[in-house]
Structure 1
């Protein structure tokens, strides 16, 4: 369980005028200002929940994650991980917590992956038999065997992320905090990582908090989502509730086998089907429509269009994450985290 109670974090920043001689004045008589990165954030994540934590750049996500994991001390408020305060009982809390930062690795660059696990096992005071058993379990789950003897610097990004995920899970934590675990990965590697995270949550019962800018990660993995902007928690609820609140507009492109079929479908959309969609375009054999996924599912729209002929191609483009959050809070001017 993750408990955040009235978390706030402020930073003291150096402030000064930028003019001739300002560098010397700032050095002799430095001035500062207080910047609030997170303000009064509270939530509780139950055992076994898979929760997404999203918001625009600079909204306070990373600052909150660092407070939850014990890296940053809150200015006010309290964190508890399985009942333990990570700022007061750091070592004890670390045994129940695994952390993965997508842009940083906890693996040793020049060592084979298996050697990194040995070092990490020693850091967590794991008995050798327990570590060997755990590595085998993670190998079965994450398919590490093919590159276990490969130096980390020679791994692909997808392989390294699997190795980092195994490293975060090595000591059998009950809580896993992930910061952008799919950043920079190609579509295939993202699909693999999502599948692995789903297995970790369902098969091991691990509580997972995921921060990401990729809405596909949220939609495919999370049953609950937290939205933070300007350092304040603005939404805590289901993904369906979030869709309802922001509309989640999507653009659907459907290409028919013949021009006649496309024209027939277009005529339908201009008439009886007009109320179901927003913007509509016809480009030769391709119809482009905009709609809310809360009102109409992608498959239902395709079934409706297929009544007018065979589709050669169909694709859906959801609104970019930043655009969706901007629609929810158009006046938000995020504080830098």
Structure 2
């Protein structure tokens, strides 16, 4: 559905070289990205600020022309076939709107039906589904300028899907949303992805979105792909570890050892211990701990993906 081969985008910038002099230099925002995304995939595309995420999306949607390499979306070349491509993709940018500011949401949706030449029956069917899943009915007749950010984002998602796109590009779709709105958007996107009818490419700084929605994770830094695989692969590659935290009735014996784990902390005079689980399964670790000392409470803490990605960024520099 999406294919990039050695995709590049360079910008000319002026750099100060003296008190009154500047010289032109080329800055590679995207530096040789090669990816293939199959139909129906949900892919997280992440990276630090300035990594090249938004620039990549702009080339995929035909907004920017590549400086080099090849790119195709839905079998089309984005820039020369931009008009045809627009009928087959949907785009949601967290900081931009495709809705009419002074019109009620319902009328914006009606106008988009005519823009994309969608048959009335198809439009009504898709709109009904979005209304149900995103709970739009309470503000369908409210002008867009009066909607909260969460309400407007739900409207933006609906607007991007009313023409039945094959690919949906999402750039920071939950930025600035409250907890309730984030949950509504994530649930909707999860159901959309599970249906398998739409290919989703998601860029975000909220890694909780990636963990809950995307099986595949592509990490870009300085314009280059530094990881392409599952989140589990990322954890494994960069050494993230689950932690076993236990509150004990009595301290562990002085000679206690837990093979395949490392003791990270012993607090409250040894009544609270934390182990990093490396090559031992959580169940085996719990069994060994319970045998050695009476346990009040215990929990297995999953590694934070933020820590893993931060380590990846550091290693890639």
Bin for the TM-score computed over the shorter chain = 0.7 to 0.9
SS of structure 1 residue aligned to 2:208: helix
Aligned ranges 1:266-277 → 2 under 5 Å:
267=252, 271-273=256-258, 275-277=260-262
SS of structure 2 residue aligned to 1:267: coil
Aligned-residue offset at 1:91:
1.0
Q: Extract unaligned runs of 5+ from structure 2.
A: none
Q: Which residue does 2:4 correspond to in 1?
A: 4
Aligned-residue offset at 1:120:
1.8
1:50/1:209 contact within 8 Å kept: yes
Q: Which residue does 1:156 correspond to in 2?
A: 148
Deviations 1:49-105 (Å, cap 9, x if unpaired)? 111112222211111111111111110112211111111111111111111112222
Aligned-residue offset at 1:132:
2.8
Q: Measured at CA, do residues 331 and 241 of structure 1 come closer, stay the same or move farther in structure 2, by a change above 3 Å?
A: closer
Which has the higher mean CA deviation after the structures are superposed, 146-155 or 78-87? 146-155
1:84 to 76, 81, 84: 76
Distance 1:156 1:133 in 2: 25
Q: Could you state the TM-score of these two structures normalised by the residue count of structure 1?
A: 0.81
1:100 to 92, 98, 104: 92
SS of structure 2 residue aligned to 1:279: strand
1:230/1:332 contact within 8 Å kept: no
Q: Extract unaligned runs of 5+ from structure 1.
A: 257-261
Distance 1:158 1:207 in 2: 23
Q: Which residue does 2:309 correspond to in 1?
A: 325
Q: Does residue 181 of the first structure (1) align with residue 173 of the second (2)? A: yes
1:44 to 22, 36, 39: 36
Aligned ranges 1:1-337 → 2 under 5 Å:
1-17=1-17, 19=19, 22=20, 31-203=23-195, 205-249=197-241, 262-264=248-250, 267=252, 271-273=256-258, 275-277=260-262, 279-283=264-268, 287=272, 289=274, 291=276, 308-311=294-297, 316=301, 318-319=303-304, 321=306, 323-333=307-317
Higher relative contact order (CA 8 A, sep 6+): 1
Distance 1:62 1:147 in 2: 31
Q: Across the two proteins, how many residue pairs are aligned to each other?
A: 315
Q: Could you state the TM-score of these two structures normalised by the residue count of structure 2?
A: 0.86
Aligned-residue offset at 1:301:
7.2
Aligned-residue offset at 1:286:
8.2
Q: Measured at CA, do residues 240 and 31 of structure 1 come closer, stay the same or move farther in structure 2, by a change above 3 Å?
A: same
RMSD of aligned C-alpha atoms?
Answer: 3.0
Distance 2:311 2:84 in 1: 42
Q: Measured at CA, do residues 147 and 244 of structure 1 come closer, stay the same or move farther in structure 2, by a change above 3 Å?
A: same
Aligned-residue offset at 1:35:
0.5
